[in-house]
Structure 1
Amino acid sequence: MNAVKKYLGIVWIALAIAIAYFSIGIFGGKLTSGKQDDLVFGIIIFFILLPMVVTGLTIFGWYAVTDEYEED
């Protein structure tokens, strides 16, 4: 079971990197579109939600890789 946790931790970290990469590509265009609606939406997603999601997935994956969830 510990091996599964470690592999899934790596999956969570890889998922965080993939989300960051694709979100920058998708929502980066919203910041430069020139429309006010797109700009507000892009700022909220890009500067508020994206860092929270990527940080949460990375920390969760790191804890799984380093056996923080292991029972004593």
Structure 2
Amino acid sequence: MGNIKKILGMVWIILALLTAYFSIFYFGLPKLRTGQQEDLVFGLIILFILTPIVSVGLAIFGYFALKGEYANDKM
């Protein structure tokens, strides 16, 4: 079970990188380039609020899974 948790830790870290990439280049930057106020606000929220929260959260979760912090025998 510990090996599965470590493999899933790598999956979470890769997912964090993919989330950051897609949030920036497919959701954030295209909205900033349209010039409309609604899109500008949405793009700024995506880039500066949601992307760091989601990506860093997934990366930290994956890091702890790799380190074995979620082991049942850890006390």
Structure 1 runs (4+) greater than 3 angstroms displaced: none
TM-score, with length taken from structure 1: 0.94
Q: Name the structure 2 match of 1:39.
A: 40
Q: Name the structure 1 match of 2:21.
A: 21
- Partner Cα distance (1:23, 1:60) in 2: 19
One-letter code of the match for 1:69?
Y
CA distances 1:4-48 after superposition (whole Å, capped 9, x unpaired) = 000000000000000111111112111121010000001111100
1:29-68 correspondence runs (5 A): 29-68=30-69
* Structure 1 unaligned blocks of 5 or more: none
- Partner Cα distance (2:32, 2:56) in 1: 22
- Partner Cα distance (1:35, 1:69) in 2: 46
- Partner Cα distance (2:62, 2:2) in 1: 13
- Partner Cα distance (1:46, 1:24) in 2: 6
Aligned length: 72
One-letter code of the match for 2:10?
I
- Partner Cα distance (2:50, 2:18) in 1: 15
